């Protein structure tokens, strides 16, 4: 692996790279559904509103709780601080979950420092590759619905790995840890519900074929996932929301667009991001490790074609779950989820193919113990996480003051709305704000009757207030 001076230098780079994303979080503000959910949470009893959401909008029985009791119910002053702190905490929590997953996967085969390095690289790669970081971490509504279950799934999948490493004999503690994770994750979004059902069907089928019987613990957890999925799927509100989409439940449209979007996003991550280069580095580093251990045995025994199909299957399933009920991709929240799982499954596929195919063909890779390779790796981290792609935009937003100007502009708008409500005004025109280039933020509409503008006015205490925005600023 890396020698000590290089390892320290890489750690500094990775921590600085992560710090930029945490710094950016301190300039974000609520938008879109954040305000409407906050208003609903402040004005209705929680249980009554949850029932209303279930019967008239969706079956997300857990994430709806977090949305209706989000930071903004505390008011804008305290809520803004908690809103930003939530984004910072979620990024940090993702790093901790990734580290824990590596502990469960590799045990003592990797040192503590190496596990932390891989965890940081994974999170930074995800932040780099994800189609919409705003909806991933910086927008509370999207983060609680999609990224929180992403993170929790790392604990769930890590527990399954421990289960198989111990010979498939679960204890009561292991089962009790899995059940609440399944219940929470499945209750956050339709996509995670579908993924959990598929994931839990795999060990059920595998073990039933091998042992000619159904394992009670595996079967029980599958039934829990299936029951939670049924609650989300059968919610009456799904039909109400689905009625807004004229192309829902069209098989050929779903199939065609799902395939096209799978090619699009997979190709983007493999061709227009540093993922392939990092996967080469993972393979090169793995060649310097010993071939003993459960993980090495898995690399030798896994079906290489199924493993290669896995990252693309994850993207395809994510697209199907999106297109079937709506007929369109819409926001990139589900693509973010696909990216989260695409990165590790692609690297796993690269390792399997190296062990089973490339080494037998005699394919050579640079020795990671050489100075040239190690400093090339340092350069890859520096360029990828500071200057290339979205990371370059993050650096630009922070150093140019664009993120700070966005913060000041939004704060000024809040002040103008507050003053208008206090004075009983009928109309207020806000100045346009400069949106950071690294974030996709849905701005207020020019029409005061747009639902975004109405939600904001309602949150500040006067739903009848007409909020308009001046002419947009020219783009740089």
pLDDT tens across 290-316, in order?
766 778 888 999 999 999 999 999 999
Alpha carbons 304 and 238: distance in angstroms, whole number: 38
CA distance linking residue 70 with residue 74, whole number of Å: 8
Which residue is listed with tokens 């639902």?
451
Residue 475 has pLDDT above 60, yes or no: no
Helix (H, G, I), strand (E, B), or coil: what is residue 469? strand
pLDDT at 205 over 70: yes
* Partners of residue 429 on adjacent β-strands: 468
Average pLDDT over residues 312-322: 96
Whether the pLDDT of residue 476 is over 60: the answer is no
31-64, pLDDT tens digit by residue?
Answer: 999 999 999 999 999 999 999 999 999 999 999 9
Give the whole-angstrom CA distance, residue 392 versus residue 395: 5
pLDDT digits over 135-183, tens only? 999 999 999 999 999 999 999 999 998 888 777 677 788 889 999 999 9
Question: Is the confidence at residue 386, as pLDDT, over 80?
Answer: yes
Q: State how far the alpha carbon of 389 is from the alpha carbons of 38, 97, 128, 268, in Å.
A: 34, 25, 7, 12
Quick check: 334 and 265 in contact, CB under 8 A?
A: no
- pTM, entire model: 0.95
Looking at per-residue pLDDT, the higher value among 1 and 3 belongs to 3
* Mean pLDDT of the 199-208 span: 86
**Which of 389, 343, 439, 384 lies closest to 150, judged by CA?**
343
Q: What is the 3-state secondary structure (H, E, C) of 174-216?
A: HHHHHHHHHHHHHCCCHHHHHHHHHHHHHHHHHHHHHHCCCCH
> How high is the pLDDT of residue 168?
64
Helix (H, G, I), strand (E, B) or coil at 23: helix
Domains of the chain: which residue ranges?
Answer: 4-399, 402-469
Cβ 185 vs Cβ 129: under 8 Å: no
pLDDT tens-digit profile of 427-467?
999 999 999 999 999 999 989 999 999 999 999 999 999 99
Distance from the first to the final alpha carbon of the chain: 43
Q: What does the pLDDT average to over 195-224? A: 87
Alpha-carbon span 104 to 177, nearest angstrom: 14
Residue 84 has pLDDT above 60, yes or no: yes
Tokens 């790279």 sit on residue: 17
323-367: per-residue pLDDT in tens? 999 999 978 999 999 999 999 999 999 999 999 999 999 888 888
DSSP helix/strand/coil, 468: strand
Residues 426 and 388 sit within 8 Å (Cβ to Cβ): no
411-429 as b/e, with b when 16 or more CB fall inside 10 Å?
A: eebbebbeebeeeeeeebe
Measure the CA–CA gap between 450 and 440, rounded to whole angstroms. 19
Average pLDDT over residues 89-108: 94
pLDDT at 474: 58
List Cα–Cα distances, 431 to 36, 226, 467, in angstroms: 22, 50, 11
List of E strands, 334-426? none
What value does the mean pLDDT take over residues 403-426? 96
């Amino acid at each position: 692996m890396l020698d000590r001076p290089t390892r320290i230098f890489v750690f500094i780079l990775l921590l600085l790279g992560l710090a930029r994303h945490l710094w950016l979080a301190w300039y974000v503000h609520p938008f879109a559904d954040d305000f409407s959910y906050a208003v609903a949470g402040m004005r209705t009893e929680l249980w009554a509103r949850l029932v209303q959401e279930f019967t008239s909008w969706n079956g997300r029985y857990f994430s709806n709780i977090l949305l209706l009791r989000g930071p903004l119910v505390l008011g804008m002053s305290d809520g803004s601080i908690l809103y930003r702190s939530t984004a910072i905490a979620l990024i940090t929590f993702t790093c901790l979950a990734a580290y824990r997953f590596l502990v469960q996967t590799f045990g003592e085969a990797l040192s503590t420092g190496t596990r932390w390095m891989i965890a940081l690289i994974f999170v930074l790669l995800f932040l780099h590759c994800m189609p919409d970081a705003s909806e991933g971490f910086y927008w509370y509504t999207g983060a609680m619905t999609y990224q929180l279950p992403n993170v929790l799934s790392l604990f769930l999948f890590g527990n399954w790995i421990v289960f198989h490493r111990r010979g498939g004999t679960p204890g009561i503690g292991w089962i009790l840890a899995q059940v609440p994770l399944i219940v929470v994750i499945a209750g956050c979004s339709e996509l995670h519900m579908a993924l959990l059902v598929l994931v839990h069907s795999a060990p059920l089928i595998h073990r039933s074929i091998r042992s000619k019987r159904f394992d009670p613990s595996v079967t029980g957890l599958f039934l829990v996932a299936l029951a939670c999925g049924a609650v989300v799927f059968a919610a009456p509100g799904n039909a109400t929301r689905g009625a807004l989409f004229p192309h829902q439940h069209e098989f050929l449209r779903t199939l065609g667009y799902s395939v096209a979007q799978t090619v699009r996003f997979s190709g983007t991550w493999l061709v227009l991001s540093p993922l392939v280069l990092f996967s080469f580095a993972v393979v090169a580093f793995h060649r310097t490790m010993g071939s003993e251990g459960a993980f090495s045995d898995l690399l030798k025994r896994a079906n290489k074609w199924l493993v290669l199909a896995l990252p693309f299957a994850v993207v395809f399933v994510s697209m199907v779950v999106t297109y079937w009920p709506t007929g369109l991709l819409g926001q990139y929240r589900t693509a973010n989820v696909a990216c989260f799982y695409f990165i590790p499954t692609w690297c796993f596929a690269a390792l399997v193919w190296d062990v089973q195919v490339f080494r037998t063909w005699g394919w050579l890779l640079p020795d990671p113990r050489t100075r040239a390779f190690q400093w090339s790796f340092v350069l890859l981290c520096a360029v990828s996480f500071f200057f290339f792609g979205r990371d370059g935009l993050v650096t630009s937003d922070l150093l140019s003051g664009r993120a700070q100007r966005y913060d000041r502009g939004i704060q000024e708008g809040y002040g103008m709305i507050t003053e208008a409500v206090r004075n009983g005004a009928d109309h207020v025109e806000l100045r346009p704000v400069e949106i950071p280039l690294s974030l996709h933020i849905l701005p207020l509409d020019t029409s005061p009757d747009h639902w975004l503008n109405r939600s904001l006015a309602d949150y500040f205490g006067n739903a009848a207030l007409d909020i308009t925005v001046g002419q947009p600023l020219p783009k740089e």
